[in-house]
């Protein structure tokens, strides 16, 4: 018998044995005995991506839901972080569009030392919050010691009312952004503005950008890019009307003219009240 023939016979025999063994193993296994893969395999993640962040997101009646929910999605994707939804009581807090959120902590229960304090904006709700001594005192107290002080939309007005933006560059919703100047802040027309440890976002949808910005600050760019990909955040809006610079002038005039009472009241609050001392 040739060497070639002997090799083929040996190889065939070995293959048959392996197939028989595999078949026997498969037959012995059941769905209960086979180990299913985990739903989420995080074993490849660097140890440095696990944190202990304490994040407080303020709720008040009439807050804008997307101001909160967008950043909350990104904060909640920080491995090891604890996100507190903070309000005056544990009762559900209703947003300006009727969406209610259940708080996880009261003002008193919120940790005193925070990695991030976040304040959403709204229409009339934020003005009421700016005239609520308990909410202003909470924002001033936690913000003075937080590693990062953040907001979206008109939430920056509440930060300013609490004395946390005096002398800082900041942004907010374009309709009310210039009112920040009345509180001693420096208004900036940008989507996300960082000045030292103050990070503020423009109107509503800018909360998504602010959330990603903070994920990168609290972890790193690769982590933030991973969360962005997980969210499939790649906006391509059907209209190019998201800022006064790109929207038709008639639309800008219409929307801008809807808030004379809001602007007047915000300026009155700035004029009639002294901001609580922050950092």
* Residue 152 phi, psi dihedral angles, 5° rounding: -135, 145
Indicate the Cα dihedral angle 169, 58, 144, 192, nearest 10°: -20
User: Which positions ≥6 away from 191 have C-beta within 8 Å?
Assistant: 171, 201, 202, 206, 209
- Give the residue among 132, 186, 176 at the shortest CA–CA distance from 155: 176
Local structure of residue 88 (DSSP, 8 states): S
Which of 130, 140, 152, 153 is catalytic? The answer is 153
What distance in Å separates the CA atoms of residue 173 and residue 63, rounded to the nearest whole number? Answer: 14
Where do the H-state alpha helices sit in 59-205? 65-76, 124-130, 133-145, 155-161
Is the CA virtual torsion 253, 153, 273, 277 positive or negative? Answer: negative
What distance in Å separates the CA atoms of residue 104 and residue 107, rounded to the nearest whole number? Answer: 10
Determine whether 110 is an active site residue: no
Residue 44 burial (CB count, 10 A): 5
Catalytic residues: 153
């Amino acid at each position: 018998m040739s060497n070639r023939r002997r090799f083929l016979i040996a190889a065939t025999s070995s293959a048959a044995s392996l197939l028989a063994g595999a078949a026997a193993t498969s037959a012995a296994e059941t769905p209960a005995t086979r180990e299913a893969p985990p739903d989420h395999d995080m074993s490849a993640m660097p140890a440095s991506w696990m944190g202990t962040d304490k994040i407080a997101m303020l709720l008040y009646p009439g807050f804008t839901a997307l101001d909160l929910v967008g950043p909350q999605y990104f904060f909640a994707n920080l491995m090891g972080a604890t996100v507190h939804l903070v309000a005056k009581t544990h009762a559900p807090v209703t947003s300006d569009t009727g969406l209610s959120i259940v708080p996880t902590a009261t003002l008193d229960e919120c940790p005193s030392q925070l990695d991030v304090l976040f304040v959403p904006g709204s229409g009339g709700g934020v003005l009421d919050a700016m005239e609520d001594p308990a909410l202003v005192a909470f924002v001033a107290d936690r913000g003075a010691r937080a590693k990062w002080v953040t907001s979206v939309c008109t939430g920056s007005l509440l930060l300013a009312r609490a004395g946390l933006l005096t002398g800082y560059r900041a942004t907010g919703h374009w309709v009310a952004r210039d009112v920040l100047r009345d509180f001693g802040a420096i208004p900036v027309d940008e989507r996300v503005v960082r000045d030292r440890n103050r990070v503020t976002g423009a109107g509503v949808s800018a909360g998504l950008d602010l959330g990603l910005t903070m994920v990168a600050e609290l972890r790193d760019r690769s982590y933030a890019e991973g969360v962005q990909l997980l969210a499939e955040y790649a906006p391509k809006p059907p209209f190019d009307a998201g800022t006064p610079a790109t929207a038709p002038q008639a639309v800008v005039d219409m929307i801008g003219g809807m808030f004379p009472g809001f602007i007047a009241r915000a300026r009155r609050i700035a004029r009639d009240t002294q901001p609580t001392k922050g950092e």
